[in-house]
Structure 1
């Protein structure tokens, strides 16, 4: 889908009309899973070589951050579909030129929708292409913070269920907690990758040779974004450590539960071993067994078997093993 955003009094009005590409104040082109016709149309209008999905997925820095004829090509993986419960990390390309700002994506990060709505309602601080890029990046950073808050909330709930299980009425099974912890870890990993990639992208954008950092306003916004991303990166590292701790604690509880089950079987085996021994002795087929002629031999054997079963159980209970 091709969406053009036209600048009007500091705001950006979205338009899906193909003729909007020729508008004199068209400042942002958003390509969302474009078809070949839309790609060629944008390339013809801007003179840019729009990267393919395979090129966007390359992990080398030289393939993600480069310039061509004064246009800056920057690609970073962003997290999407977080609230849907199936988070994905997909590459998004930002192209900054002196005349137009182009974004290319094949997923739907929530930050894009939020920024488009915000830019339509209120005026942006800078409607030049590089200003729109920085404003969009600020929204992306805010979205990172929101996702981190979701992760932190999930981790706190898991922590309560792991360490305060006796105080919770609707405690989830340990297998469910283990899966929830794994999902938190997976999302944190994807988010950590996105934050690191955006920090590299911002650092490269602010390189003196690109020229944008000469403006004091741009320089201050880059500094602020850099500090925010560094802070989010530190918090992500903390969450990673916390989730690993919760994973170890959950596995520890599973081991404890398994140990309890094994202990029950061990106690049962120890308790029934003496009666089994007595029954085995008197079940032998020898001709001379004096006890077989006793009138009280049978009840004595039964009493011995009961006593040999009860005494070990009493001893285990006294020792606190049961």
Structure 2
């Protein structure tokens, strides 16, 4: 837990035991930065500062969306910053702020265990380094909160910049025809889209939160401008993200059109192949019909010859003088009859 007493002369570090005394002093203000809300932090929030139990609960539990609660003497603001995870996952880094008249309390998390402490405390650490280096001298808790949120917004912008770099690389793959695995490529496209949608949602909800904060009657007039400036910055991030999302959607649409065109060409090639196979099969069937027809024509005389070639004693027409010519005529007639029948059906 980092405790700083910030005055015109600079910032001095203190311990938890000094908090009660520091809050009674009139000069400067106190900044308490809590890396994670453990039992000690809960004691400080509930007993030393006397925050509402629901506000303390918000610090101990994860909040899926930004929120703001205005109390009599302070404001609770819950914000999120993006952090890249594995396989396109976007971690929500939660930052809770209690902005009072003589203090600012920042609480980090709870966050996913995969998120490092360095990433979780990125914004407050950067502001603390600026204060230690003398580059920042906030004159009020609201001014310090403005600096921290400005750092959070810059991180949102940097995340959009990283995703935009990925989008440009993906577009070059599409236009260059360098896509080896369409399924994996589509996955990368939709991962980039997911990242942009996530930051867009963070910025839109946070912008609405600060727009509402600017209308609070208890907000000092001198700080209304900084609150409105923060709302405008969140709106700018949202608009930038919307532009990149539309650009990415164009890349996705172009690639989907290419896939559709390729699928159509493949289908046409398959249809042409099927047509060729059908024609070959038809031609083969025609040949089979011709062969079958001629086989039937020659089978009829063979059948007659086989019948008359039987050597039985009591065969009819065995001693008939016209038996042989009759057999020849019968074979010719059977063949001609079958030829005429097949010819009529178009088999010959």
When normalised by structure 1's length, the TM-score is 0.73
SS class of match (1:96): strand
**Residues 80 and 109 in structure 1, CA contact (< 8 A), matched pair in contact too:** no
Equivalent of 1:95 in 81, 95, 98? 98
Instruction: Identify the residue that residue 34 of structure 1 maps to in structure 2.
Output: 37
Give the total of aligned pairs: 281
Residue 205 of structure 1 pairs with residue 182 of structure 2: no
Equivalent of 2:89 in 86, 90, 105? 86
**How far is the alpha carbon of 1:26 from its aligned partner?**
6.9
Instruction: Identify the residue that residue 328 of structure 2 maps to in structure 1.
Output: none
Query: Kindly tell me: are residues 283 and 120 of structure 1, through their superposed partners in 2, closer, same or farther at Cα, counting changes over 3 Å?
Result: farther
SS class of match (1:282): helix
Equivalent of 2:171 in 156, 159, 163? 159
Equivalent of 1:118 in 123, 126, 130? 130
Instruction: Identify the residue that residue 44 of structure 1 maps to in structure 2.
Output: 47
**How far is the alpha carbon of 1:55 from its aligned partner?**
6.7
Equivalent of 1:106 in 110, 126, 134? 110
Query: Kindly tell me: are residues 37 and 54 of structure 1, through their superposed partners in 2, closer, same or farther at Cα, counting changes over 3 Å?
Result: closer
Residue 195 of structure 1 pairs with residue 203 of structure 2: yes
Instruction: Identify the residue that residue 236 of structure 1 maps to in structure 2.
Output: 241
In the alignment, structure 1 segments of 5+ residues that lack a partner are 294-322
**Residues 10 and 123 in structure 1, CA contact (< 8 A), matched pair in contact too:** no
**Residues 37 and 60 in structure 2, CA contact (< 8 A), matched pair in contact too:** no
- Describe how 1:64-75 pairs up with structure 2 within 5 A: 64-75=67-78
**How far is the alpha carbon of 1:180 from its aligned partner?**
1.6
Superposition RMSD in Å: 3.3
**How far is the alpha carbon of 1:141 from its aligned partner?**
1.7
Instruction: Identify the residue that residue 57 of structure 1 maps to in structure 2.
Output: 63
SS class of match (1:288): helix
Instruction: Identify the residue that residue 255 of structure 2 maps to in structure 1.
Output: 250
Query: Kindly tell me: are residues 48 and 208 of structure 1, through their superposed partners in 2, closer, same or farther at Cα, counting changes over 3 Å?
Result: closer
Return the alpha-carbon distance in structure 2 between the equivalents of residues 109 and 173 of structure 1: 38
Return the alpha-carbon distance in structure 1 between the equivalents of residues 130 and 86 of structure 2: 20
Return the alpha-carbon distance in structure 2 between the equivalents of residues 10 and 85 of structure 1: 46
Larger Rg: 2
Return the alpha-carbon distance in structure 2 between the equivalents of residues 261 and 106 of structure 1: 52
Residue 181 of structure 1 pairs with residue 204 of structure 2: no
Return the alpha-carbon distance in structure 1 between the equivalents of residues 233 and 139 of structure 2: 22
**How far is the alpha carbon of 1:272 from its aligned partner?**
2.0
Equivalent of 1:130 in 133, 136, 142? 142
**How far is the alpha carbon of 1:202 from its aligned partner?**
2.2
**Residues 154 and 184 in structure 1, CA contact (< 8 A), matched pair in contact too:** yes
Report Cα offsets for 1:115-153 as digits up to 9, x if no partner.
Answer: 333333334241421111011011112222212222222
Instruction: Identify the residue that residue 222 of structure 1 maps to in structure 2.
Output: 227
Report Cα offsets for 1:241-269 as digits up to 9, x if no partner.
Answer: 22222222222222223223323322221
**How far is the alpha carbon of 1:284 from its aligned partner?**
5.4
Return the alpha-carbon distance in structure 1 between the equivalents of residues 37 and 58 of structure 2: 10
Return the alpha-carbon distance in structure 2 between the equivalents of residues 3 and 158 of structure 1: 43
Instruction: Identify the residue that residue 151 of structure 2 maps to in structure 1.
Output: 139
Report Cα offsets for 1:68-103 as digits up to 9, x if no partner.
Answer: 231111223332336995312354322101121112
Return the alpha-carbon distance in structure 1 between the equivalents of residues 267 and 141 of structure 2: 66
Return the alpha-carbon distance in structure 2 between the equivalents of residues 128 and 189 of structure 1: 34
